[in-house]
Amino acid sequence: MTRTDTTMYLPDGQPVFQPVQPRTWVDAAATVPGDPVKAWYLMHDVAGAVAWQRKPAMFQGVTSVAQGINSSTWSPIGGYDELVDTHGGHNDGTNTSRYYAPQSSAVSAGSGGDWYLASGYIPFDSSSATNVFIAGLRVNGGTVFEGQKQPSAAGHAVDCMVMDLVQLNGRNDNYVELCAWQNTGVLVNTLVSGKSPSFTVRWVGADPAWAGIATPALPALPHTWTDTDIVTGSATGAGKVPLNTEIRDLVNFLHNPPLARLTSQGTTQTIPPGASTWTSINFTAAGETLDNYGGWAAATPSRYVCKRAGLYLLYGLAAVAEPASPAGYRAARLLINGTTAYAGGSCFPATGTTAGTALPAVAQVRLAVNDYVEVQMLQTQGAALSVKDGVGDASRLVAVWKSR
């Protein structure tokens, strides 16, 4: 794979390596000349930031050829027809299952990398109710982060989806791929008639180690400029417009919006049975992979608390181990402020395997400051079920700020 980068060219022809790190403007004082308001500074900070937000690193592909998935082996889905690939991260000729992150200005060779929201969908051509089917995301050929895990049913195919935040460093040729798993004991094909596997990856936040990282207040509505405005760095007052608020903080927020990835890694929690017993899943300090605005706290381990108001994309995954003799059904949902529920998936457990069950719940929800989100599960096994606690198969909550 040939490395690509995030350089963009502005209207004046100047190249900008994205994302831009906006300057902190200095006010004039008795012994300080202050920063001049130059067109290049504004072009870099404003036009550069707008260009990146309008066209971030993003890929989406669908497959049109059925692919055989071997039993009990993670198989990457490849052969995508590209719908969009803004920075050339996907190759049509080799390693066609992989999306490679472009190099960005926010990462160094030794850092973790920028954050990407990855999602995938896999329809399996099987009606097996005794075995499970899983969609997962694999980073750099290592651990697979599992998504939906459930059986099929007589007369049906089974669809599985996965969503997660993954950290990728383009300087180190990091990549992510959508993978499929099943344990029927025979080859199972993916469906491509009426429904097809699809894979989407989108840049959502800069490397947390980047010098440009900041967690400013939620930006106000953009200022409407007038001929009498007085441009300042940070000074406020009659007619003064501080560029550190109107430009720097706004750009910093867009480069580092509220993001969270919480998992139940290392948990010992169990889910009690009951047809009306919804249980909130607790997340752990070990599973707090990303939480750049501090929305999770050990004192309230099931909650992600909103710190900046806005519209959020929320993805919850409720994952449990299954006994040798499964019974009843399983269901997942998102719960906002302990009252408003967003229904997720439900299924009967697989009857011939103890691989477990994992059900997703997805919603876009407008949150105010101090609103909180929980992932819940209900099950009717008749006995408690253990919440999954591994690195790749744990329950999960992903939160991504989308807009005001």
Same domain, 161 and 282: no
Same domain, 395 and 268: yes
Same domain, 243 and 316: no
At residue 216, φ and ψ (nearest 5 deg) are -75, 170
The SS3 of residue 226 is coil
Per-residue confidence (pLDDT) for residue 63, from 0 to 100: 97
Same domain, 14 and 72: no
CB–CB of 313/342 below 8 Å? no
- Nearest 5 degrees, angle CA 403-CA 171-CA 10? 55
Same domain, 101 and 199: yes
Same domain, 62 and 201: yes
CB–CB of 58/202 below 8 Å? yes
Same domain, 269 and 363: yes
Per-residue confidence (pLDDT) for residue 12, from 0 to 100: 83
Domain end among 170, 205, 240: 205
- The parent domain of residue 51 ranges over 7-55+216-255
Distance of alpha carbon 393 from alpha carbon 265, whole angstroms: 8
- Residue 211 belongs to a domain: no
E-strand stretches of 103-253? 114-124, 133-139, 144-150, 158-168, 175-182, 188-189, 198-205, 230-232, 240-242
Per-residue pLDDT of the chain (404 residues; tens, 9 = 90+): 557 899 999 888 889 999 999 999 999 999 999 999 999 899 999 999 999 999 999 999 999 999 999 999 999 999 999 999 999 999 989 999 999 999 999 999 999 999 999 999 999 999 999 999 999 999 999 999 999 999 999 989 999 999 999 999 999 999 999 999 999 999 999 999 989 999 999 999 999 999 989 999 999 988 999 999 999 999 999 999 999 999 999 999 999 999 999 999 999 999 999 999 999 999 999 999 999 999 999 999 999 999 999 999 999 999 999 999 999 999 999 999 999 999 999 999 999 999 999 999 999 999 999 999 999 999 999 999 999 999 999 999 999 999 99
Same domain, 72 and 104: yes
CATH number of the domain that residue 302 is part of: 2.60.120.40
- Residue 295 belongs to a domain: yes
Same domain, 248 and 148: no
The SS3 of residue 383 is coil
Count of domains forming the chain: 3
Distance of alpha carbon 26 from alpha carbon 142, whole angstroms: 46
What is the residue type of 22? P
Domain end among 205, 240, 274: 205
Per-residue confidence (pLDDT) for residue 2, from 0 to 100: 59
Same domain, 232 and 295: no
- Residue 111 belongs to a domain: yes
Domain end among 175, 205, 235: 205
CA dist list (Å): 110 to 113, 207, 371: 9, 11, 36
CB–CB of 293/258 below 8 Å? yes
Per-residue confidence (pLDDT) for residue 119, from 0 to 100: 98
- Residue 243 belongs to a domain: yes
